[in-house]
Amino acid sequence: MIKYETDFSYDEAITLIKHPKHFRYFESRNENIFNSHLYHVLVKDELSYVGYGHLDAELNKLWLGMCIFDSHQSKGYGKAVLNHLLNIQTIYSKINLTVDKENIAAVNLYISNGFRIISQTDKIYYCERNYNV
């Protein structure tokens, strides 16, 4: 059973999130940015935290960010968290995210759930999904 916790502090999030190799979001974001998120969630199974996700509005775009901790990957948590986040918002017509090209499992998850690559750098894909998918 997956539980979604939404009542937690920036410090609690940082303590849990800083270790995953594929989620650098908090390296360049401070507590004010965290507090301005439209929604953020810590994800737990019966025994431990398994991941994190958030929705953030920036420059009239909705951005999704998420990570599943290394020891919990390939167990369906990514799809569950993604679906949870996609079901939260209703105002925006599109949702955006970035993903490291080397994170093949995440790239495949996003593509298989309606995201398309709209641009890229050497290391990152910029993806977008219409909300009516």
Two tokens at 90? 């209703």
State residue 34 phi and psi, 5-degree precision.
Answer: -55, -45
Sign (positive/negative) of CA torsion 74, 38, 40, 67? positive
Domains of the chain, CATH where assigned = 3-95 (3.40.630.30)
35: enclosing H helix or E strand: helix 31-36
Q: What is the mean pLDDT of residues 33-50?
A: 88
Q: What is the mean pLDDT of residues 72-84?
A: 92
DSSP-assigned letter for residue 7: -
Report pLDDT for 19. Answer: 57
Is residue 84 within 8 Å of residue 44, measured between CB atoms?
Answer: no
Is residue 57 within 8 Å of residue 95, measured between CB atoms?
Answer: no
Is residue 95 within 8 Å of residue 132, measured between CB atoms?
Answer: no
Share the mean pLDDT of the chain: 87
Two tokens at 29? 């974001």
Sign (positive/negative) of CA torsion 45, 71, 35, 107? negative
Q: Is the pTM of this model over 0.85?
A: yes
Report pLDDT for 55. Answer: 94
Q: Which residues contact 119 (CB under 8 A, 6 or more apart)?
A: 125, 126
Report pLDDT for 65. Answer: 92
